[in-house]
Amino acid sequence: MSSTDASQSGKTDDRRSRRLVFAYKTACLVVMSIALFWGLVFFSMRQWGLVGTQGAMAAVCLVSWWLTHTGRLSLALMLSQLAFLAITVAMCLYLDVPSEVAPRVSHLYLLVLAMLGYMNFQRHRSKPQLVIIALCLVAFVAFASTPMHFSFAQPLSDEVRISGSWINALVAVAMLAGGAYVMQTEFERTNTMAQALQVALWNDSFTLAYQPQVNRSGEMLGAEVLLRWSTPERGPISPAEFVPVAEQAGLMVRIGAWVLNEGCKTLALWQTHPETSHLTLSVNVSASQFLENNFEQSVLHALEVHKINPTRLKLELTESVMVADMEVVVAKMHILRAVGVSISLDDFGTGFSSLSYLRRLPINQLKMDRSFVQDVTESKRSATMARNIIQLGRDMDIAVLAEGIETQEQFRLLRDNGCTEFQGYLFGRPVPLEEFERTVRTAAA
């Protein structure tokens, strides 16, 4: 992934995070207001235990709101879910005990927690979050289907619970409706984009951009080809936004095949000109595309059809391929390596990196993720990690390419530490093929 794409990815993630931050901060304020209201009611009734419970809920909301406001959304979400799960379960077992006059309603908030957890899971998939969602749903079913409570419970009076049941039920339903609206809006956006991507495939509306890759002397080694998509309504759309949608819609395999074929056409053209015949071309391959049963055969077919030198083609894979059957992954790589195709591991150091995986994978290149590069001149820790990745590549006879190079200082530091290949704004932005070729011809003149 180029530095441009990584920057756009950050902007897209920021937009999604801002929506979740707004929804979560609003929910914190709503729940805190309800807790304070009931705290005052119970205070007037001298129900000190209940005052403490409502105070705890308000405190959790306040802390969560503050954590979110200061940029620690993930911590706030996990903390609040666990705290409110415990508080809600305690309320149901000790205070909100159903009777013939008033039903139990506190357990409705467990559905709100489960929905909040699901929204967070869509943002950041993790097993702990799945466990919390499951606990919320199990607890909801248990409290909805049984009058379960502590033997030493001290139920609220029916008078308080009747009025409270209406308020709590309305608030819980309103929060569920709000969450459903947010998810429906996201679904409609995704569905609309998936349909537009399908049309773009039919109409051949995608374009490609090429970003230079250079050696330690600044000489052109080749380029990375990058997918671009623009619509009349929205203009250019970030790959970080449309690629995940294409993956979900099952379109990425076809889009990836189109990119590979166009890349091979470019290599065939370059072979006919002395100033470009030495250049390599890096093509990004998604995990779903690489794991297709006939992927390696489709690559071999493209090489044969376009009559290109296989050593000029480089396939960039993300570390997500490692979650698949490693025997299948390694076998595919060996078939491609056998004919001369190079394999590059993109965004190295950010995903499923493992020395045991790296030892087994027949790769030619590691692409150091830009997160290690962007502050390599300011952060001692980033500089140390970058040096370690470079040394790892040297020890394993694997080339290391640093992406996201934007300053001469970054370039010099990484070059002096043994990095041999570079990519970033310092050497050129992604540009259309014609402009890239003009740059190459100018440099060769």
Among positive and negative, which fits the CA dihedral 302, 393, 216, 285? positive
Q: What is the pLDDT of residue 17?
A: 61
Helix/strand/coil for 274? coil
The answer to whether 104 and 131 are in contact (CB under 8 A) is no
C-alpha dist (Å) from residue 437 to 266, 271, 411: 11, 13, 24
Domain residue ranges of the chain, discontinuous segments joined by +: 3-189, 206-444
Dist CA 107 CA 93 (whole Å): 10
Dist CA 319 CA 351 (whole Å): 6
Tokens 């470019």 belong to: 266
* Cross-strand pairs, 212: 223
Tokens of 251: 């379109």
The phi, psi pair for 344, rounded to 5°, reads -120, 140
For 405-432, write each residue's pLDDT tens digit. Answer: 999 999 999 999 999 999 999 999 999 9
End-to-end CA, the chain: 30
The amino acid that residue 96 corresponds to is: D
Tokens of 209: 């951009």
Judged on CB neighbours under 10 Å (0-12, 13-18, 19+), 41 is middle
CA 111 to chain CA mean position, Å: 25
To the nearest whole percent, how much of the chain has pLDDT over 70? 93
Q: Dihedral (C-alpha) 425, 431, 437, 442: value to the nearest 10 degrees?
A: -50
* Average pLDDT rounded to a whole number, residues 106-122: 88
The amino acid that residue 241 corresponds to is: E
Among positive and negative, which fits the CA dihedral 42, 47, 52, 56? negative
What's the chain's average pLDDT?
Answer: 87
Other beta carbons within 10 angstroms of residue 352's beta carbon come to 11
The phi, psi pair for 145, rounded to 5°, reads -105, -10
* Cross-strand pairs, 236: 230
For 208-259, write each residue's pLDDT tens digit. Answer: 999 999 999 999 999 999 999 998 888 899 888 899 889 888 899 999 999 9
- Least-confidence region, from 2-16, 106-120, 281-295, 327-341: 2-16
- Among residues 15, 80, 43, 433, which one has the least CA distance to residue 262? 433
- Least-confidence region, from 106-115, 243-252, 329-338, 355-364: 355-364
The answer to whether 80 and 58 are in contact (CB under 8 A) is no
Is the confidence at residue 165, as pLDDT, over 70? yes
Q: What is the CATH number of domain 206-444?
A: 3.20.20.450
The phi, psi pair for 349, rounded to 5°, reads 100, 0
Angle, vertex CA 164, rays to CA 159 and CA 165, nearest 5: 100
